[in-house]
Structure 1
Amino acid sequence: MASRPNLSHLLPAPRLRQLARDWLQEDAPNFDYGGYAVGDRQECAVLLCKSPGVLAGFPFFEAIFAEVGCSVEWLQSEGAWVEPITRVAEVRGQAKDLLLGERVALNCLGRCSGVATLTAKVCRGAREVGWHGEVAGTRKTTPGFRLPEKYALLDLHPTAKTLKTSFPHVIVEASGGITEDNITQFVGPNIDVISLGCLTQSAKVVDFSLKISREPVPKPPLRNFVF
């Protein structure tokens, strides 16, 4: 099986950092009472996927936790279909930092995975009736969240272009009112692209949770400092 391309290379690092900062700033409380309560002890939290779907949005999840000083170790591959309950990743850091990044990171991962999952279902429906054109999204995206939603479309974006006998360089697109249920009515040998706003507007989020692991977290090695 061919390995999946690393789509994270499409995302400029400064753009990722800025998005993570903006989302965290929007969500962060004026006073972090939760962080005050849990303290700065080192913890390992396990990311669990609790509903079936396609995993997407890893770079955004990582950027959010990197911004609060936590590290992420993935146990699954982006673009993979998983069934509940699946251990997807382990996140390590101080308890207060895990709590600070948790909700923002889960919201982003759930939304991206929801878009990728719906896209997978639509693509499968089109392929089952023998159409090999391109399924695409539209500009109907969530304000402030366009980049993650468009990125999620790439995880399940098979593009098998069919050259038409006449005018092979003309791209014919079908758009407007197309859904997962009626897409088969629009497929045909002369249609190259079918655009669906529902991929980003109506996608049901995939359910994730982040649970503190009960296994002991190894302490970081001591460092020698020379003065």
Structure 2
Amino acid sequence: MSPTAPPEPSYDHLLPPSWKPLITSWLQEDTPSFDYGGYVVGEAHREAWLLGKGKEVAVLAGSPFFTEVFEQLGCQVEWHVKEGDTFEPVKHVATVRGKARHLLLGERVALNLLARCSGIATKSKRIKDLARSFGYQGIIAGTRKTTPGFRLVEKYGMLVGGIDPHRHDLSSMIMLKDNHIWSSGSITSAISHARRVGGFTLLLDVEVRTEAEADEAIAAGADIVMLDNMEGDELVSVARRLKERWVGKKFLIESSGNITEGNLKERVAGEIDILSTSAVHQSVQHIDFSLKIQMPKSE
């Protein structure tokens, strides 16, 4: 008898032990003293519908955060749309049950989390799908230009949307940018110092402005060369020459800076291994959700 296949991993399995106290702190921030509105509605048990609205097809992302908000308030959430699935508005996405004052206590925190996380996932999926439609098979990645205190949710949204979240923090990969290089004296010196302390487990990503700087970075042992703010024919031709000149040398080429849906097509050359963009999370359009308490059915 063949063993039963394990269930598909859930995105919330990625979350670290520290994430639930974050929810607690956000609830504390939203109600630091008295809940005046909650006093008005009292203890009656009610059912509320989470509705996905807006004008476009969206990706649901952030359901663990939404659920945890209400579980900490003694409510139960039943999901009707799976995390990572798309839905068309208006959609009854979930049902929340609990005391009316607790539903309202968690409403804004839960909706804000879900709206931004789903917005990031929706934008990430759209950019990835567009790149694939142009024939690009490389990596689409976000950036570290995230909101302080909210990074976990934003990086999670990128993953649910199907792209690479890139490095999470200064400790998860060594990235040497212009200020590191200028302060160290040269690309070679900066890489040498970084290797000494970073060891063999950390990848080394080096930002360069010219083809000559890229050559120096590759020669010094960079794992990834970021061609920063190069665009159009220059980007493609420089990447192609680097691949040809350093054939047999293991490294990846990353393109970053001013990548949008509008100019994506000119960046998706096969010589570019990674396209990293902040367009998937900075100034992204949130997905419109609302939580509507249902009137109790008459006896």
1:133 aligns with 2:116: no
Q: Does the CA contact (< 8 Å) of 2:59 and 2:85 recur in 1?
A: yes
Partner of 2:86: 81
| Alpha-carbon shift at residue 179 of structure 1 (Å) | 1.3
Relative distance call for 1:75 and 1:146 in structure 2 (3 A) is same
Q: Does the CA contact (< 8 Å) of 1:17 and 1:67 recur in 2?
A: no
> How do 1:208-219 residues align onto structure 2 when only pairs under 5 Å count?
208-216=289-297
Partner of 1:30: 33
1:112 aligns with 2:117: yes
1:10 aligns with 2:14: yes
C-alpha deviations, 1:12-38, integer Å up to 9, x for none?
2x3221110111111115211110000
Greater relative CO (CA pairs within 8 A, separation 6+): 1
Q: Which runs of 5+ in 2 are unaligned?
A: 1-6, 165-242
DSSP-derived class of the 2:94 partner? strand
C-alpha deviations, 1:162-191, integer Å up to 9, x for none?
xx8944842221111111211111111111
CA distance in 1, matches of 2:84, 2:248: 34
DSSP-derived class of the 2:33 partner? coil
Compute the RMSD of aligned alpha carbons: 2.0
| Alpha-carbon shift at residue 80 of structure 1 (Å) | 1.2
Q: Does the CA contact (< 8 Å) of 2:115 and 2:288 recur in 1?
A: yes
C-alpha deviations, 1:16-66, integer Å up to 9, x for none?
211101111111152111100000111110000002311100111111111
> How do 1:26-105 residues align onto structure 2 when only pairs under 5 Å count?
26-51=29-54, 52=56, 53-105=58-110
> Once structures 1 and 2 are overlaid, which stretch shifts more, 88-97 or 25-34?
25-34
Partner of 1:171: 252
CA distance in 2, matches of 1:135, 1:22: 32
Q: Does the CA contact (< 8 Å) of 1:126 and 1:183 recur in 2?
A: yes
Partner of 2:170: none
Q: Does the CA contact (< 8 Å) of 1:48 and 1:87 recur in 2?
A: yes
CA distance in 2, matches of 1:141, 1:158: 15
DSSP-derived class of the 1:172 partner? strand
DSSP-derived class of the 1:199 partner? coil
Q: Which runs of 5+ in 1 are unaligned?
A: 218-227
DSSP-derived class of the 1:96 partner? helix
| Alpha-carbon shift at residue 216 of structure 1 (Å) | 4.5
Give TM-score scaled by structure 1 length.
Answer: 0.86
CA distance in 2, matches of 1:33, 1:24: 15
Relative distance call for 1:98 and 1:167 in structure 2 (3 A) is farther
Partner of 1:155: 160
Identity %: 50
CA distance in 1, matches of 2:79, 2:112: 17
Relative distance call for 1:127 and 1:100 in structure 2 (3 A) is same
The runs of 4+ residues in structure 1 deviating greater than 4 Å are 164-169
| Alpha-carbon shift at residue 7 of structure 1 (Å) | 0.9
